[in-house]
């Protein structure tokens, strides 16, 4: 089980480390847009949409990595003062009854929307934009899958914590 958890975590780790570079590219693209618009008087819709695509990718694909490094938002009323064993039980409950069902429902209801977008190779959001809205919409199921994979890895780690506490 340890190998499985490690493999699942490596997926999100690689994606998270790659997205660090995507953040830099998004920043540079935004700089180019501002330079072109305010210095040279040019504006290109596809460049503006490029920032949108980068931004969406960072948040949707980076959710699993954020979960991996424990940097997600946590309502921390009782959790911080709980023992490691209690934290593991709270996390197991959250993974099984909150995270997984919410992501499965989102995946289930978004899939026809994404499939339909791919079926017609849906074009740009705006006239003159990037002709690949289907890629942007594909981030929804990717988000669900990556977060579910990290949830499974976290579940395995929490079960191991509980087994270690009983030993």
For the CA atoms of 147, 152, 157, 158, the dihedral, rounded to the nearest 10 degrees, stands at 90
Can you tell me the distance from the alpha carbon of 39 to that of 155, in angstroms, rounded to the nearest whole number? 52
User: Quick check: 126 and 45 in contact, CB under 8 A?
Assistant: yes
**pLDDT tens-digit readout, 1-57:** 889 999 999 999 999 999 999 999 999 999 999 999 999 999 999 999 999 999 999
**What is the number of other CB atoms lying within 10 angstroms of the CB of residue 156?**
19
**pLDDT tens-digit readout, 79-137:** 888 898 999 999 999 999 999 999 999 999 999 999 999 999 999 989 999 999 999 99
pLDDT score of 2: 87
Q: If you write DSSP's letter for every residue of 59-71 in order, what string do you get?
A: HHHSHHHHHHTT-
| Residues belonging to the chain | 167
pLDDT score of 38: 96
């Amino acid at each position: 089980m340890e190998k499985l958890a490690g493999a699942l975590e490596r997926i999100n780790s690689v994606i998270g480390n790659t997205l660090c570079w995507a953040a830099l590219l998004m920043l540079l693209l935004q700089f180019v847009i501002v330079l072109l618009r305010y210095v040279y008087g040019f504006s290109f819709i596809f460049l503006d949409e490029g920032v949108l695509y980068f931004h969406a990718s960072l948040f949707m694909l980076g959710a699993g990595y954020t979960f991996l490094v424990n940097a997600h938002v946590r309502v921390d009323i009782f959790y911080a003062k709980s023992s490691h064993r209690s934290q593991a039980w709270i996390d197991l409950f959250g993974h099984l009854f909150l995270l997984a069902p919410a992501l499965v429902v989102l995946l289930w209801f978004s899939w026809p929307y994404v499939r339909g977008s791919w079926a017609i190779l849906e074009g740009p959001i705006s006239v003159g934009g990037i002709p690949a809205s289907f890629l942007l919409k594909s981030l929804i199921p990717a988000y669900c899958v990556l977060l579910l994979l990290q949830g499974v890895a976290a579940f395995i780690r929490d079960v191991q914590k509980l087994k270690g506490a009983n030993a």
